[in-house]
Structures are given as structure tokens and as C-alpha cells.
Amino acid sequence: MSIIATKDGYYTSSSPLIDDGFADVALGLKYTLMRDPCAGRLVSVGASYELPVGSTRALQGNGDGEFHLFATGGTRLGENMHYLAGTGFRLPANQAQESSSWYLSQHLDYMVNQKFYLLTELNWYSWFQGGNGGIPGATNVEGLDLINLGASDVAGNNIITMAWGVKYKPNANREIGLAYEIPVSSRNDVMDNRLTVDYIIRY
């Protein structure tokens, strides 16, 4: 069992619709159902709650929060590659205020050496229920996995993105990552491209 914080931090935006600011904070639990280090396989499930405490100027802090229910699995491929997949539902506490969505993410990495990895990812976001808000004049636009705008006319919308990046592991408990992501579907809503930098500490 792990305590997780899957969303927080500060983001900047070049979009005229979104100002820079702090993201909402998501806290939860993750439980490993199966872990086989010899075969390089694992399966886990989890749940988190996103507190609406972010900057309103960055279109965060709206609604009554959001529940995230998810499952992840992964396996080693050969000696130097790993495949991981995750899927889940994002369900607002108040469905009248925010949108409901489902996603599928797939990750493939290649171990160059014990500390350095190359990676690519494919992400599919799909909305099945809208809210009662959104950006004025753009009620069919949503904020992917970062912002829940509560747009009213998004049911049936789908966005697919791809990312490429690197991961550096200075030791067993720390990871530093960098990834560049772009939409590859006809829709992109608020994202033209995204650069993500993360720093992970494990206990």
C-alpha cells in the first residue's frame, strides 16, 4: 500500500485562456495486487481525491473536487525495455459542475544503462458527461488531465496525444524526468504542446 500525490505543482501557460498558477492537489492510496520482480511484472489499483485548492486564475479550484479511480499494469520486455499501461475514470464530486472522463495511457521505455532511459507514451482522453460551465464561448473544450473546466458540450469528445522523453535515476529512490507531448488527433482543445518535468522521491 502506498500513499500517493499524483497532481500538484505550478504550471505556466502560453494560452490566452489560461494564466500561470498552482494546480489542484490530488491525494490517495495505491495498492499493488501483484509484483513479480523476476518476471518484471506488476499490477496495481488505486484511488485519489483532487482537492480544489489551486489558483482560480489558472482555471483550478473549481467545483467540489474530483475522484480518480485507476488501474495500472506493466511488464519487462526482453532485457532493456518496459511496457506500462494505465486506465481510469475521473469523476467529479459534483457532476453538475465538472465533466466526467475516461483515459488510457501507454508507456514504453528503453534502458540505455542503469541510470538513463528513453521513453515514449500514447494517451487517449474521452469524455462521457459534461458539466454546466467551461470557457465562455467554448463550451465544447476541455483541459485534458490537468484542468476540469466543466464544459457542457463535451460528451463523446476524444483527444489522443503522444509524448517523447528521458528519465534519469541517480539512485534507487529518486527519478528525474523530462517529456514533450503533442496532440496527434484532430482535436487538441487547450493544448498545442506540453513540456513536463518531474522529480520523484520514493520511501
Cell of 153: 458540450
Region of 156 on the Ramachandran plot (φ > 0 left; ψ -120 to 50 alpha; else beta): left
* The total number of structural domains that make up the chain: 1
Per the confidence metrics, is the pTM higher than 0.85?
A: yes
Take residue 6 and report the three cell numbers written for it.
499524483
In this predicted structure, what is the pLDDT of residue 11?
Answer: 86
DSSP bridge partners of 84 = 74, 107
Q: Which three cell numbers stand for residue 139?
A: 463550451
Question: 35 pairs with which residues across the strands?
Answer: 42
* Helix, coil or strand: residue 137: coil
Domain range for 11 is 2-201
Domain with residue 128: its CATH number is 2.40.160.40
State pLDDT tens for residues 24-52.
999 999 999 999 998 899 999 999 999 99
pLDDT digits (tens, 9 = 90+) for 71-129: 999 999 998 999 999 999 999 999 888 999 999 999 999 999 989 999 999 999 999 99
